[in-house]
């Protein structure tokens, strides 16, 4: 589905409204927001599918995955015909043989994971939005995310995690070199660039200059206003960011 995130947002929002109205309650119903992850099918799809289908077993809700009423596991192993919107073939193709043979192999694969601590790096993948080895991640970054990675956006945390992060001390040194160590704008500009070009929080940026969080925030705001009104300073900032981006 091309717009899975939009569909999930619509579904969750409307279900929460329905549930709250029916039970005369208000507020959040789900623990955290919906997230999607791009998966390297060859390397991780089998393990991730098993991980998901064994969640009710690990949680102690049921003893076997087919006993969980809300699981799609039964469709994968041939106990029922899948709904039109449910894609099972992609995972089953990773198992050899015809459809029935693949379903039997998948069932054995999942059952073999019961009671075992099989690690799947799903939490780390949520952070980056990609589940795969470094070669797969590099390929996605190169082929699909080039422009997005060159334009940092704090509203897209997963993309920012994938960007090569410049060191804060390097940003500080570059600002001192271009603007001068004694320039009153060197510190605020370094904080602004650090905030824009890395995932560093204001707490970390402030600590670098012995500032509180509010002090770092104020410095960042002053720098932002200054480069808006001062073209010379704005050009200097663009020069610094370009050099940092180039590595």
In a domain, residue 139? The reply is yes
Same domain (yes/no): 114, 59 = yes
Tens-digit pLDDT string for the chain (247 aa): 456 667 777 777 888 788 878 877 776 666 555 556 666 666 678 888 898 899 999 989 999 999 999 999 999 998 888 888 888 988 999 888 889 999 999 999 999 999 887 766 555 555 556 666 566 656 655 555 555 555 555 545 555 555 555 678 888 898 999 998 889 999 999 999 888 777 678 888 888 889 999 999 999 999 999 998 899 899 888 888 888 776 5
Q: How far is the C-alpha of 30 from the C-alpha of 35, rounded, in Å?
A: 13
Specify the number of domains making up the chain: 3
In a domain, residue 8? The reply is no
Predicted structure pTM score: 0.49
CA dihedral 237, 242, 244, 245 (to 10 degrees): 140
Asked whether 56 and 68 are in contact (CB, 8 A), the reply is yes
Q: How far is the C-alpha of 77 from the C-alpha of 102, rounded, in Å?
A: 8
In a domain, residue 80? The reply is yes
Same domain (yes/no): 138, 124 = no
Among 145, 162, 179, the domain-final residue is: 162
Q: Give me the CATH number covering residue 172.
A: 1.10.1750
Same domain (yes/no): 111, 42 = yes
Domain that holds residue 197: 168-246
Strands (E), 67-201: 130-131
Same domain (yes/no): 198, 111 = no
């Amino acid at each position: 589905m091309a717009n899975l995130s939009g569909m999930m947002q619509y579904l969750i929002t409307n279900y929460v409204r329905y549930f709250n109205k029916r039970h005369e309650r208000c507020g959040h119903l789900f623990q955290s927001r919906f997230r999607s992850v791009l998966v390297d099918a060859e390397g991780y799809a089998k393990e991730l599918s098993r991980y998901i289908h064994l969640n009710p077993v690990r949680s102690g809700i049921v003893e076997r995955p087919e006993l969980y009423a809300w699981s799609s596991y039964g469709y994968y192993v041939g106990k029922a015909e899948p709904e039109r919107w449910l894609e099972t073939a992609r995972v089953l193709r990773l198992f050899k043989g015809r459809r029935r043979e693949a379903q039997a192999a998948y069932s054995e694969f999942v059952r073999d994971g019961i009671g075992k601590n099989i690690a799947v790096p799903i939490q780390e993948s949520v952070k980056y939005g990609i589940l795969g080895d470094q070669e797969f991640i590099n390929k996605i970054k190169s082929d699909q995310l080039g422009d997005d990675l060159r334009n940092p956006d704090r509203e897209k945390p997963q993309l920012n995690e994938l960007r090569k992060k410049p060191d804060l001390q390097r940003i500080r040194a570059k600002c001192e070199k271009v603007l001068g160590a004694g320039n009153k704008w060197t510190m605020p500009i370094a904080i602004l660039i650090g905030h824009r070009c890395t995932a560093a929080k204001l707490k970390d940026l402030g600590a670098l200059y012995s500032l509180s969080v509010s002090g770092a925030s104020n410095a960042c705001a002053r720098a932002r206003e200054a480069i808006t009104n001062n073209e010379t300073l704005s050009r200097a900032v663009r020069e610094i960011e370009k050099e940092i981006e180039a590595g």
